[in-house]
Chain A
Amino acid sequence: MEEVNALLQGFGVALSPLNLLLMFVGVILGIIIGVLPGLGGANGVAILLPLTFSMAQQPGGTTSAIILLSCIYWGALFGGAITSILFNIPGEPWSVATTFDGHPLAQLGRAGSALTAAFTSSFFGALVAVIMITFLSPVVAGFALRFGPPEFFSVYLLTFCAFVGMSGGNAAKTIASMMIGFALAAVGLDSVTGTLRLTFGSTSLLKGFDFLIAVIGLFGIGEILETLEEGLAFKGASARINFKVVLETWKELPRYWATSLRSAAVGCFMGIVPGGATPASFMSYGLARRLSKDGNDFGSGKVEGVVAPETAAHAAGTSALLPMITLGVPGSPTAAVLLGGLLIWGLQPGPLLFVEKPDFVWGLIASMYLGNIAGLIVVLTCVPLFAAILRIPFSIIAPVIIVICAIGAYTVHNSMFDVYLMVAFGVLGYAFKKLGYPLAPMVLALVLGDRAEENFRNAIKGSQGDLTVFFSNGLVGGLTSFALLLLFWPLIRAGWRVVLGKS
């Protein structure tokens, strides 16, 4: 097969000793970036970008440069899970859903299992995505072109319905929480009409509420306040810490093959569209919760609840590079900076890149395989080390965590106002959690709210006010119907039972 030959050549390019070294350097840097909420993959890539110019001038150097940069990206994808699991602080936006079950697992003393599950699933998700890129890229690249505003809206609707559904809990509080999320997402500039809303003349509110700031406050600071109440220690500090836990978790993982495959599919789909890794992780978690046997216990520390979002996030993060290469549309801020890099090195991302620079493209794809293997090796060997962080006394680690949170909140927009906001969100998170308001719907609404609204309104504008645009072709109709089906599934199931005469 043509692809296999090209790929083998790519491995030849990627497997030089220098490139292997760069791979490990990149992955380790990426993990640091992923762990600290103040640094995103975009930072790391942007900082090293100038350094790669001189690299790119040597023969084959462009490949080395992109290997270094893309490995930072893989490292960041792996690293985001670490603080989510250990401290309930998502290092990156796409690891928010990982906190839902990852942190409870750590509290049960199973931090090692949670970390192993997260890393292994990340690797699996990436592997599926790379295999898809290798063999199906021409087919799949065209697929992204079919997504206009109605299609994007239906994707976001689907994410919502998959996650929210009609689950239990206090309905009024769920609605209040979700609507607060939507309201916060609306603050700032309305991109469709270019007018400011909900800013009340404040220049600090112009840029809106960033999702990461809210999440760091709600989850991270809120968690510390709650921990305090129960005494001055993180739960699960007495966890067993040795390498055996990796092997034991591996024995457990094959049980979740269905969730893994489904999550990888969700992730690839969301990456190509490009809908983003964060919605992918939420959608996948929601689907797993509904479809798994143990679905009702999700949130109390289920390994499967870590597998689902991590697989999807990594699959989406990886496949997001495909629209970047073939269409020049970055699927994430990091991809955007990589895109800038390609341009500066004299490469033009676009449909012709595969034809004109096959060496580069296949070298990059080969580095996706190798980079992820390198990443997996690094993070797995460090599992006991990461888990040992929980043994640091609370009175040392807690202020360090809060400092990290403050830096994280500040760096999103270089704004002190955001740091104050984060503390306010922390208090809010604490109060909400104790009163039984669910936080996840608020966070999801904050992530997707303005994007969903924008695409809805653009779709309606384009169809001149005709709502049937959301069923105007097979793709968008299918997505919308599937979303509605998921939303009303409990009702439908109940109705079906009545029809069948069971009660």
Chain B
Amino acid sequence: MEKGEQGSAASVKAVEIGVAVVIFLFGALVVFDSYRVGAKWGDDGPQAGYFPLYVGLLICFASATIFVRAFRNSALAAESFVSRDELKKILTVLVPTVVYVSLIAYLGFYVASTLYIAYFMWHLGKYAWIKIAPVSIGVSVAFFLIFEIWFSVPLPKGPLEAALGLN
């Protein structure tokens, strides 16, 4: 693999252990809440927490196994989970995506989507604005027609739609 040369951002071992710990905590949470709602085999069959309790225990057990195995396997430490380069690429998409979904609440779906598509084309595709504008706006308008007009499926709308009287 060529990944080694690029400089690793995280080893497989670190990620494996981290994910196992998160899964274990999730399992513990499930066990905890199952006890709260009752996890016994009651008079009329299993209670609400009966199955989730065992599901939670199995999650804990499986993640503990994964944790121990990863911990003892020193070869995993040398293996790269993701190189710096790859991580950077992923973050250039993931960060705007997170920004995009959080903007939806303020700007509405259509405006946020237009900005998101435009950013993507500009940053990753290096397109000229003369191409970016029609594509990004066109896609959003198409979605607006499909969802709002034809299928009457209302999506969140923001100040622009309000100003245009479209909501």
Contacts and interface: CB of A to CB of B under 8 A. Distances in A.
**Chain B binds chain A:** yes
A492 to B, nearest CB: 24
Q: Is the interface of B mostly helix, strand, loop or mixed?
A: helix
Interface stretch (A188-196, A236-244, A282-290): A188-196
Contacts of B121: 395-396, 399
B65 interface: yes
A47 B81 CA distance: 48
Contact of B97 (A190, A402, A460): A402
B153 A39 contact: yes
A431 B94 CA distance: 13
Interface in A181-227: 182-183, 186, 190, 192-193, 195-198, 200, 221, 224-225
B129 interface: no
Contacts of B102: 420
A300 interface: no
B56 A229 contact: no
B137 interface: no
Nearest to A400: B139
Given A435-B15, A460-B46, A403 B117 contact: yes
Interface residues of B, number: 68
Contact of A400 (B52, B100, B117, B146): B117
B59 A183 contact: yes
A420 B102 CA distance: 8
Contact of A193 (B48, B97, B109): B48
Contact of B124 (A176, A200, A395, A420): A395
Contacts of B41: 465
Interface in A291-340: none
B116 A403 contact: yes
Contacts of B66: 170, 172-173, 176
A148 interface: no
A423 B125 contact: no
Contact of B37 (A173, A176, A190): A190
Contacts of B150: 47
A454 B52 CA distance: 12
A179 B62 contact: yes
Contact of B58 (A179, A416, A420): A179
Contacts, number: 173
Given A176-B63, A406-B104, A195 B139 contact: no
A410 B109 contact: yes
Contacts of A453: 51
A390 interface: no
B122 to A, nearest CB: 9
A318 B29 CA distance: 41
B24 to A, nearest CB: 9
Q: How large is the interface on A (under 10, 10 to 19, 20 to 34, 35 or more residues)?
A: 35 or more
Contacts of A228: 86, 89-90, 93
Contact of B151 (A39, A197, A457): A39
B21 interface: no
A137 to B, nearest CB: 32
Interface in B75-117: 81-82, 86, 89-90, 93-94, 97-98, 100-102, 104-105, 109, 113, 116-117
B109 A197 contact: no
Interface in A18-46: 32-33, 36, 38-39, 43-44
A229 B125 contact: no
B91 to A, nearest CB: 10
Nearest to B59: A179
Contacts of A196: 37
A460 B155 CA distance: 43
B51 A182 contact: yes
Given A193-B47, A435-B15, A403 B139 contact: yes
Interface of B: 12, 15-16, 19, 23, 26-27, 29-30, 33-34, 37, 41, 43-49, 51-52, 55-56, 58-59, 61-63, 65-66, 69, 81-82, 86, 89-90, 93-94, 97-98, 100-102, 104-105, 109, 113, 116-117, 119-121, 124-125, 127, 135, 139, 143, 146-147, 150-156
Given A183-B59, A399-B121, 20 more contacts: A38-B153, A47-B150, A176-B58, A179-B56, A179-B59, A179-B62, A182-B55, A197-B37, A225-B90, A229-B86, A232-B124, A395-B121, A400-B139, A403-B116, A406-B101, A410-B156, A414-B154, A423-B97, A427-B94, A460-B46
12 contacts: A176-B62, A179-B56, A183-B59, A192-B48, A196-B37, A229-B89, A229-B90, A410-B156, A414-B154, A419-B104, A453-B51, A457-B46
